[in-house]
């Protein structure tokens, strides 16, 4: 009697592979979400570039006496940009630029990034902060 050798995987081998894939997915998805949100939040960080540039130009023109003069809508700094479902909220108060992620219902909604000027004499040093630091987005 000749025995035929069967080819293929046993049920236990398939279950082990499925368990390994499940473990890898459970670790990878949260990391992927963080990287995706970090990449998306870079849009908000870039949005303050116009305000930062305006402050630098006006500082080089000696338009500021103190940080109290560095406010949105005055001394050549653009006005406040209101937060909406499609735009980030941007405000400048006493040399601190604050951008708030748009109210779009995502995980990032309401997350803030601040860029604080440390003086009005060029070169201006900046300190970053905001709730994005806690979330790991900036």
In a domain, 6, yes or no: no
Residue 90: helix, strand or coil by DSSP? strand
Q: Tell me, yes or no, whether 28 lies in a domain.
A: yes
110, 100 contact by CB (below 8 A):
yes
Structural domain of residue 105, as residue ranges? Answer: 11-135
Q: 24 lies in a domain? A: yes
pLDDT of residue 4: 72
pLDDT (average), residues 37-59 = 95
**Domain total of the chain:** 1
Do residues 125 and 118 touch, judged by C-beta distance below 8 A? Answer: yes
> What pairs with residue 127 in β-bridges?
116
Q: Is 0.85 topped by the overall pTM?
A: no
> Band of the pLDDT at 30, cuts 50, 70, 90?
confident
How large is the average pLDDT for residues 80-106? 95
**CATH assignment at residue 75:** 3.30.700
């Amino acid at each position: 009697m000749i025995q035929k050798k069967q080819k293929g995987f046993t049920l236990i081998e398939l279950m082990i592979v499925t368990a390994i894939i499940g473990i890898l997915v459970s670790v990878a998805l949260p990391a992927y979400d963080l990287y995706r949100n970090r990449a998306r939040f870079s849009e908000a960080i870039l949005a303050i570039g116009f305000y930062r540039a305006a402050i630098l130009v006006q500082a080089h023109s000696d338009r500021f006496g103190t940080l109290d003069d560095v406010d949105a809508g005055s001394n050549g700094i653009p006005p406040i940009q209101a937060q909406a479902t499609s735009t980030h909220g941007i405000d400048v108060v006493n040399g601190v630029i604050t951008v708030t992620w748009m109210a779009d219902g995502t995980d990032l909604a309401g997350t803030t990034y601040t860029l604080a000027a440390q003086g009005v004499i060029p070169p201006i040093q900046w300190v970053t902060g905001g709730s994005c630091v806690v979330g790991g987005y900036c």
